[in-house]
Structure 1
């Protein structure tokens, strides 16, 4: 699959895909004899993984480290697992923070709705 197809499939710009490859977020993509990127299923799995992880806010630096560890081979499985466990912990913490903020927003919106409803009742009397 060429870069245009991968771009469309993952809803990422071609520039973003090139950037991900350049900074090491995805391993180097094979190229045709004419130099066009040719994404394999494995490459697509990497793009999908990175898009998913970035979508929930995992830092680029952590993901670059993960990809680098992966490329070093099986002896880094423990380090990769540790890295993912730490990111899961941080994500859970952020989710709890977001839940608290959401509750606060809901409360504030409810109070505004009550105030507005109160004012409309008064105006219609």
Structure 2
């Protein structure tokens, strides 16, 4: 259990690093398009990248608690009971990690779509 606690601590920092890298990649993408000098494309990419970033963070943030309560808790508790505990921990990491990824990807798609729609309405 001590090793799992240590791993969870490092995973927390990994999440922060992932958010920083995603934000930096979005900012660099905006800079690249805006340097080309086309104002309309620059304005549009600002909306779509901001929406994608916010949507990805929100989607992952919503999916993890839902997956934890609805899927990980009952399924992984049963697996953990049968395997002496370690199977439940691994199951929880897989379920929550998968939910985070799926929620983030879905949120990015929705956020980008909304950013594009807001741009179109403003235009």
Band of TM-score, shorter chain: 0.3 to 0.5
Larger RCO: 1 or 2 (CA < 8 Å, sep 6+): 2
- Give the number of the structure whose residues are more often helix, by fraction: 2
TM-score by length of 2: 0.37
